[in-house]
Amino acid sequence: MQEITVTELAALGLDKTIIDVREPEEHAQGVAPGVTLLPMSQFMEREAELPEEGPLYIICAAGGRSARVVAYLEQRGIEAVNVLGGMGAWSQAGLPVAAGPGGAE
């Protein structure tokens, strides 16, 4: 499984395709700028919304759910990378966080 740290991802630039698989209430607490919310609970039914070109960087709260989604995508032949530590590590590293939909700015 391909993995990347939050600081390595940030160094690549935030123009990458980052998919947040947290649930909407978690997403509202804060997100990495430019992420797309595709909750794990809806992932398989909304999979067609994913861009066809990879790699896809998959993030969650701590890295567990994103690892499961990456494993699933890899089985389907889609290039995906697990973001180690998730949004917890992202915030802890002092990287930019935007308010999610419905979240406080």
For residue 105, being part of any structural domain is answered with: no
Nearest-angstrom CA–CA distance, 16 and 45: 23
For residue 103, being part of any structural domain is answered with: no
- Domain containing residue 28: CATH number: 3.40.250.10
For residue 101, being part of any structural domain is answered with: no
For residue 104, being part of any structural domain is answered with: no
Q: What's the pLDDT at 104?
A: 42
Range of the domain at 22: 3-92
pLDDT digits (tens, 9 = 90+) for 64-76: 999 999 999 999 9
pLDDT band at residue 102 using 50, 70 and 90 as cut-offs: low
For residue 102, being part of any structural domain is answered with: no
The answer on pLDDT for 19 being more than 90 is yes
Q: Quick check: pTM over 0.85?
A: yes
For residue 52, being part of any structural domain is answered with: yes
Domain count, the chain: 1
pLDDT digits (tens, 9 = 90+) for 58-101: 999 999 999 999 999 999 999 999 999 999 999 999 999 887 66
For residue 98, being part of any structural domain is answered with: no
- Per-residue burial over 18-53, b if 16 or more Cβ lie within 10 Å, else e, is bbbbbbeebbbbbbbeebebbbbeebeeeeeebeee
Q: What's the pLDDT at 8?
A: 96
Q: What's the pLDDT at 29?
A: 85
Active-site positions read: 60
For residue 88, being part of any structural domain is answered with: yes
